[in-house]
Amino acid sequence: MNIPILKKILQRLFKFYVKKHFSKILIALFLSFGVAGGTAAIAWLLDPAVKKIFVEQDRTMMFLIPLAIVAAFSIKGLSLYFARTILIKLANEVVRVMQIELSSCVLKSDVHTVESKHSGKYISHFLYDISLVSQLVSSGVLNIMKDSLTLIVLVALMFYQNWKLASFAMIMMPLAAIVAKSLGRRLGKVTTQSAKVVGNLTAFLSEMIKGLRMIKIYQQENFEFDRSKKIMEEHMNKQNKIGFVTIRATPIMEVLTGIIIAGFIYWTGIMVAAGEMQINNFFSFLTAMMLAYQPIRSLATINMLFYQGAAGAERVFTVIDTEAKIKDNNSSNNLNIKEGNVEFKNVDFSYPKTEIPAIKNVNIFIEGGTTAALVGHSGAGKSTIINLLPRFYDPSNGNIFIDKQNIKDVSLFSLRKNISLVSQDIILFDDTVRANIAYANMEATNDQIQKACEFAAASEFIEKLPQSYETLIGENGIRLSGGQKQRISIARAILKDTPIILLDEATSSLDAESEEKVQNAILNLTKNKTTLVIAHRLSTIIRANKIIIVNQGKIVETGTHNDLLKNSNIYKNLYSKQISTN
């Protein structure tokens, strides 16, 4: 990371996250004066301590100087404590705001943008990258204020005691700056590499835990263990590099300090012998110089902290700045559904980074209040068609209309408010049964939830659960069977009560008895509603008002079950396979 980029990121951090808390920084700055003053007082008090107590043996000073030293240490300690407290709170507030912005960005992003990156990488942004920013704000800001002021005051004291020796001691500062500049650039590069490894580690652990059953049934424990060792070893190596770069300045600074102190003692010995300096001045000057070592070392490495924080902020800003491709137009109106007609006109769609179109020149008209079934082999484009209606994706060409309103011209909120989806990929939260169903309508009453469950043939098994509707179902419903999860998903869609229903292989996880119950529930649910359904089981689609045959991304035939059975070879083939399977 070069200096202009570093400067740009730090300016953005200050302008949008830190500036509004500037009063807290001023308070911390004021307290930093207390730290600097207390540190300088400790060094200065050794001058009168040696002279008055040990040389002149002043009884009064034997009492007053120790009290003054205690006061100096107390002022330094309390000032540092309160300054750190303020900046820790400030850093946590910055973290909170950045995490909220990151959450908002992920929630508002289009599906493809989020799915193009592993979820573990996003978790790494939330935890690892933002923690680097936190360290920058809490430790970096405090250190640059506290250590700069302390160094200035101590250097002033050193010049007050003896300007010749102070000039000699100043040699360390430009050398420390050269070391810091070199190591800071290296640290920024290593931190970026480490962040990638942390993202890979988070992604691997997430997949390993989610796929534990698959790992065990295919007996791949040793393979995954070897993978984990490699990833964790890589993570260890990157962390070692960061640690090594961070502490690389220590031996250099120690050597420089040793040379300076050795030269200082030699020169001081000559000056004391010549009567140019008294022993009490020597102890005070030596203490000031030794105390100055810590802020010099801190300031020599502080740019590493800034490089690390800026590298983390840059990765977070990259996500925050990613503009959603699917969003409302400036003139978006609310969708107004009267009849519920759905129409696809000359619709093409290709998934990003693929050359072969998923669907081509799709033209479909679904009359409001009727059911249309999409039928075709896997990969034909059925799910793509369904995903275009709620604008999870936008067509490459063509338009989609609901009651002659282009869905691109209506607000996303009003569009999705009128659509319910029951997908083959069931998403349930680690919460109660009630909370998962009520996710469709947070204001639903208990009676409405129970009625939806009855329609979905779910109330019977729910009431047998340990805490009935208050039972925790685990991550993605791990404590439920596939059919039970499917029925909760259907109950959620029923509760939403929308004029348009999308069923993506909604009954594929149900046994014959449950499917019959759910089919009856779906008939009630879809009555007088526009329904677009995908299913490999003919029992799901046989009652559809219109059946649409999809093959290799194209609509090849449309009709009723009886018409297609007579006239469509593709449908006959699918029907024969289903009959033979049954």
pLDDT of amino acid 364 = 93
More confident residue, 376 or 418: 418
With H, G, I as helix, E, B as strand and everything else as coil, classify residue 196: helix
222: Cα within 13 Å, side-chain hemisphere: 1
Of 185, 192, 197, 199, whose CA–CA distance to 245 is shortest? Answer: 185
Average pLDDT (434-448) is 91
Please, which pLDDT band fits residue 470 given cuts at 50, 70 and 90? very high
pLDDT of amino acid 346 = 94
pLDDT of amino acid 478 = 82
Which residue ranges does the chain devote to CATH 1.20.1560.10? 3-320
Average pLDDT (370-391) is 88
For 142-189, the pLDDT digits (tens) are: 989 999 999 999 989 888 888 888 887 777 667 666 666 666 566 666
For residue 399, count CB atoms less than 10 angstroms from its CB and return exposed for 0-12, middle for 13-18, buried for 19 or more: middle
Do residues 58 and 52 touch, judged by C-beta distance below 8 A?
yes
Please give the structure tokens belonging to residue 389. 């209606």
What CATH class has 339-418+505-510+526-582? alpha beta
pLDDT of amino acid 290 = 82
Please, which pLDDT band fits residue 74 given cuts at 50, 70 and 90? very high
pLDDT of amino acid 208 = 80
Average pLDDT (242-248) is 73
What is the CATH topology of the domain spanning 426-497? Rossmann fold (3.40.50)
What is the CATH topology of the domain spanning 3-320? ABC transporter transmembrane region fold (1.20.1560)
d(CA 55, CA 121): 67
pLDDT of amino acid 580 = 59
d(CA 37, CA 32): 8
Distances (CA, A) of 153 to 132, 146, 193, 213: 30, 11, 39, 64
Please, which pLDDT band fits residue 578 given cuts at 50, 70 and 90? low
Report pTM.
0.79
Helix then strand then coil, in percent of the chain rounded to 5, is 70, 10, 20
101: Cα within 13 Å, side-chain hemisphere: 18
Among all chains, which residue has been given the structure tokens 């890589």? 234
With H, G, I as helix, E, B as strand and everything else as coil, classify residue 392: coil
pLDDT of amino acid 299 = 79
Do residues 89 and 21 touch, judged by C-beta distance below 8 A?
no
Tell me: pLDDT of 20 over 80: yes
Q: What is the dihedral of CA 300, 303, 305, 307, to 10 degrees?
A: -150
Mean pLDDT lowest for which of 30-34, 285-289, 398-402? Answer: 285-289
For 182-233, the pLDDT digits (tens) are: 665 666 667 667 777 777 788 777 778 777 777 776 778 888 888 888 888 8
d(CA 495, CA 511): 23
pLDDT of amino acid 275 = 80
Please give the structure tokens belonging to residue 246. 């961070």
Q: Which residues pair with 550 in a beta bridge?
A: 555
pLDDT of amino acid 510 = 59
Please, which pLDDT band fits residue 487 given cuts at 50, 70 and 90? confident
Do residues 138 and 87 touch, judged by C-beta distance below 8 A?
yes
For residue 382, count CB atoms less than 10 angstroms from its CB and return exposed for 0-12, middle for 13-18, buried for 19 or more: buried
Average pLDDT (466-470) is 91
d(CA 539, CA 518): 11
pLDDT of amino acid 486 = 82
pLDDT of amino acid 244 = 77
Of 392, 321, 400, whose CA–CA distance to 352 is shortest? Answer: 392
List strands edge to edge, sheet with 342-349.
Answer: 359-366, 342-349, 397-402, 405-406
Mean pLDDT lowest for which of 16-20, 26-30, 531-535? Answer: 531-535
Mean pLDDT lowest for which of 162-166, 471-475, 511-515, 552-556? Answer: 511-515
Which residue ranges does the chain devote to CATH 3.40.50.300? 339-418+505-510+526-582, 426-497
Average pLDDT (79-98) is 93
Average pLDDT (132-150) is 90
Mean pLDDT lowest for which of 86-95, 234-243, 354-363? Answer: 234-243
